[in-house]
Amino acid sequence: MDIKQYMTEVGQRARNASHAMAKADTAAKNRALTLIAAAIRRDADALRAANKKDLDAARANGLEAAMLDRLTLSDKAIATMAEGLEQIVSLPDPIGEISNMKYRPTGIQVGQMRVPLGVIGIIYEARPNVTVDAAGLCIKSGNATILRGGSEALHCNQALAKLVSEGLAGAGLPADAVQIVETTDRAAVGEMITMPQYIDVIVPRGGKGLIERLMKESKVPMIKHLDGICHVYIDDKADLKKALDIGFNAKCHRYGTCNTMETLLVARSIASTVLPELAKLYATEKVELRGDDEARAILKGYAHLASATEEDWSTEYLAPVLAVKIVADVDEAIAHINKYSSQHTDSIITEDYTRSMRFIREVDSASVMVNASTRFADGFEYGLGAEIGISNDKLHARGPVGLEGLTSLKYVVFGHGEIRE
């Protein structure tokens, strides 16, 4: 198989399908999503059989347990995929909305219309549910999609893609609006990220290694985040209960997520009050605390205490480990965050109005919070309905990205014969 030729054909089909998708009405898109959800429920047995082929091959190849777990399509995962599509049906259609329509002194009316981006490329690892979630969001936002899932999940992804295309066709939409890359050859990824004529934006979903590699070589813009080094700063005007609740929740609710706190900053004048109390909570989860000199002095006797090095301030542990630093005040906290944060999510705990406003304004991250757990940085929690990914970049979408991040605003002008004088 000539990969370049194959991917060019996939790209051309996607570009053609994108024109039909861009003008598809809401009813047709919702009908397709509903048909796909029904087909997934109807063909649950076949999906599990396809998934078994993938799992057998993966076990034979000695894939590790965590990877096998992500690859597994359980009954619950199948039900969740179908429900996810139905939730997308219930979201408002963003496409075609015209905003800010205003008369100008010349007589023309100028506004902006929300339109699809065109073709979205999704590059992801083992999890087969991404195939359906991403397809659903792209359909609703009027985009065509090229999906390149992990090679371990190929059989399952093929089975799912067949149901998606069937649903599209059933609603009178082009079956090519969602295509999966049918080869496991890695060169296909190289083609995807270098064909801006066919793909308008790439959404990479996966580990830091995958995303770093793509960033280096991509000629197509990406919606992505590399890591989540999130901070909570406990100010000396913090409410102690809120500080303890959030300090514990932001670290211990889940360890492996990008919005989990990785560094705790504590104002010097309340550190000896708040840190020992927090340590009691962390002890229940055996969280390792990596403190600077001052923090270690306060935490002396804590069972899982270690020294923080410079490297810890920019490490995403994704584990029960927390870097702890004592700072003088909100100024030092903001300076530390703007230096070391990955611009994902940072939160201040304070009852002080002016400091809360300064933190919100001056911390340069995708999500900035007052008195809330960093774990809330999530498309569903923010009310976007669903999430295609999270962006740490400042251009285009920033933070959790829902349907709107898959769209663009074009100017529309309603005239009455006006010419420029």
Q: Is 272 in the site for its own copies (CB under 8 A)?
A: no
Q: Is 353 in the site for its own copies (CB under 8 A)?
A: no
Tell me which H or E stretch contains 255: none
Q: Is 66 in the site for its own copies (CB under 8 A)?
A: no
SS3 253: coil
Under DSSP, the state recorded for 226 is: -
Contact pick of 28, 110, 175, 321 for its own copies (by CB under 8 A): 110
Contact pick of 400, 401, 402, 403 for its own copies (by CB under 8 A): 400
Contact pick of 253, 277, 281, 352 for its own copies (by CB under 8 A): 253
Asked whether 229 and 263 are in contact (CB, 8 A), the reply is yes
Judged by beta carbon, residue 40 or residue 201, the one nearer its own copies is 201
Q: Is 69 in the site for its own copies (CB under 8 A)?
A: no
Instruction: Select the span of 50-58, 128-136, 235-243, 281-289 touching its own copies (CB under 8 A).
Output: 235-243
Q: Is 255 in the site for its own copies (CB under 8 A)?
A: no
Judged by beta carbon, residue 84 or residue 379, the one nearer its own copies is 379
Instruction: Give least dist CB 166 to its own copies, A.
Output: 26
178-180 β-sheet, strand order: 178-180, 144-148, 119-124, 201-205
Q: How far apart are CA 2 and CA 17, in angstroms?
A: 23
Q: Is 399 in the site for its own copies (CB under 8 A)?
A: yes
Instruction: Select the span of 40-48, 55-63, 107-115, 285-293 touching its own copies (CB under 8 A).
Output: 107-115
Which ranges in 61-119 belong to alpha helices (H)? 65-71, 75-90
Q: How far apart are CA 252 and CA 257, in angstroms?
A: 11
Q: Is 117 in the site for its own copies (CB under 8 A)?
A: yes
Q: Is 99 in the site for its own copies (CB under 8 A)?
A: no
Q: How far apart are CA 160 and CA 94, in angstroms?
A: 26
Instruction: Give least dist CB 347 to its own copies, A.
Output: 8
Q: Is 96 in the site for its own copies (CB under 8 A)?
A: yes
Instruction: Give least dist CB 41 to its own copies, A.
Output: 28
SS3 251: helix
Q: How far apart are CA 270 and CA 267, in angstroms?
A: 6
Number of residues lying near its own copies (CB under 8 A)? 66
Task: Provide the CA 375 distance to its chain's centre, in angstroms.
Answer: 13
Q: Is 34 in the site for its own copies (CB under 8 A)?
A: no
Q: How far apart are CA 19 and CA 13, in angstroms?
A: 10
Judged by beta carbon, residue 71 or residue 337, the one nearer its own copies is 337
Judged by beta carbon, residue 76 or residue 416, the one nearer its own copies is 416
Q: Is 280 in the site for its own copies (CB under 8 A)?
A: no
Judged by beta carbon, residue 260 or residue 263, the one nearer its own copies is 260
Q: Is 90 in the site for its own copies (CB under 8 A)?
A: no
Q: How far apart are CA 288 and CA 10, in angstroms?
A: 49
Q: Is 361 in the site for its own copies (CB under 8 A)?
A: yes
The two three-digit tokens of residue 182, written as one number? 């049918």
Judged by beta carbon, residue 96 or residue 276, the one nearer its own copies is 96
Contact pick of 35, 211, 369, 401 for its own copies (by CB under 8 A): 369
Instruction: Select the span of 132-140, 144-152, 157-165, 247-255 touching its own copies (CB under 8 A).
Output: 247-255
Q: How far apart are CA 219 and CA 201, in angstroms?
A: 10
Question: Using N-to-C axis directions, what is the helix angle for 26-42 and 129-140, rounded to 10°?
Answer: 160
Instruction: Give least dist CB 419 to its own copies, A.
Output: 4
Q: How far apart are CA 209 and CA 186, in angstroms?
A: 15
The two three-digit tokens of residue 237, written as one number? 């005007």
Asked whether 122 and 222 are in contact (CB, 8 A), the reply is no
Question: b/e string for 331-352 if b means 16 or more Cβ within 10 A?
Answer: ebbbebbeebbbbbbbbbbbeb
- Nearest partner of 39 among 168, 219, 198, 225, judged by Cα: 168
Tell me which H or E stretch contains 305: strand 305-307
Contact pick of 14, 232, 375, 387 for its own copies (by CB under 8 A): 375
Taking CB under 8 A as the criterion, which residues in 11-30 touch its own copies? 19, 22-23
Report, in angstroms and rounded to the nearest whole number, the Rg of the chain calculated over CA atoms: 24
Q: Is 156 in the site for its own copies (CB under 8 A)?
A: no
> Applying CB under 8 A, which residues contact its own copies?
19, 22-23, 96, 102, 104, 106, 108, 110, 113, 115, 117-118, 200-201, 221, 239, 241-242, 245-246, 248-250, 253, 338, 347, 358, 360-362, 364-373, 375-377, 381-383, 394-396, 398-400, 408-420
